[in-house]
Amino acid sequence: MLYLIYGGDSASRLAKIEELRKELASIYPGALETDLNTEEINEDKLDELSFGQGLFQNVSVVILRNTLETKELKELFGNKIKILASSLNVFIIGEPRTTKDIIERVEKNGGKAIFLGLEEKGLKKDNSGFALADAVARRDRKGAWALFVEAVSKGARAEELHGIIFWQFKNLLLVKNGGLAEKLSYPLMKAKSFAPKWDERELKTALSRLISIYHESHRGTVEFPIALEMFLLEVV
């Protein structure tokens, strides 16, 4: 089964993914959950997840967020829509935007395309969220922390800030690994200028910790804003 969630802001997509994840957990108790990062996506991995099943559970839930950032990944996803939609496992794709062709192909093959509306105004209107992401990328710990506290004081949701920071780390890892032959977008060009400040191991560790913060906060084992603030103070 394939769910394509697109539109809205990062917070609304996170909320919709979490809502769907909880619904699936009630249908398939004990299902194995996998968050797939950009650097892990390739044809073999998608085939493995499409056809593979756990030892004690028939269904796996695979979540991909903001992962279709390059021409190659978009083409790969397009070629795999039929397989993902017909899989016994469940794939949840969360993207800020997509194309009409992709939406039509998802629905034609039995998947569900869920539009969350146009991007909401608020935090992104004054670009403070992206200022935070840039401070994180250039390892400005004091600046990142100050921008985080300011954003929270203005009512920004931890989920939204988490999504922006997660997106920036994925950009950093993407350009760190190279292999982008096409012309880079402005965000990726900026990430490329910050990438020398990080090594690949640090970026992978940061992404893994951000994923853990997201899941642990929704399980109630940590407070999302506090965990994210500690991440900024300890990792940046």
User: Could you tell me if 60 and 91 are in contact, meaning their C-beta atoms sit under 8 angstroms apart?
Assistant: no
Q: CB atoms < 10 A from the CB of 151, how many?
A: 21
| 60-65/90-95 β-pairing | parallel
Assess contact for 1 and 92: CB atoms under 8 A. no
Measured CA to CA, the distance from residue 150 to residue 155 in angstroms comes to 9
Q: Which domains does the chain have, with CATH numbers?
A: 2-115 (3.40.50.300), 123-235 (1.20.272.10)
Distance CA 92, CA 96 (A): 13
Residue 122 pLDDT: 41
Distance, CA of 16 to CA of 6 (rounded, Å): 10
Q: Residue 36 — left, alpha, or beta (φ > 0 → left; ψ -120 to 50 → alpha)?
A: beta
Q: pLDDT for 161-213, tens place per residue?
A: 898 899 899 889 888 887 555 556 667 778 888 999 999 999 999 999 999 99
Q: From the first residue on, what is the mean pLDDT of each consecutive set of 10 residues in the chain (236 residues)?
A: 88 82 86 77 88 67 80 87 93 89 94 82 51 89 87 82 90 79 66 90 94 88 91 92
pLDDT reported for residue 120? 47
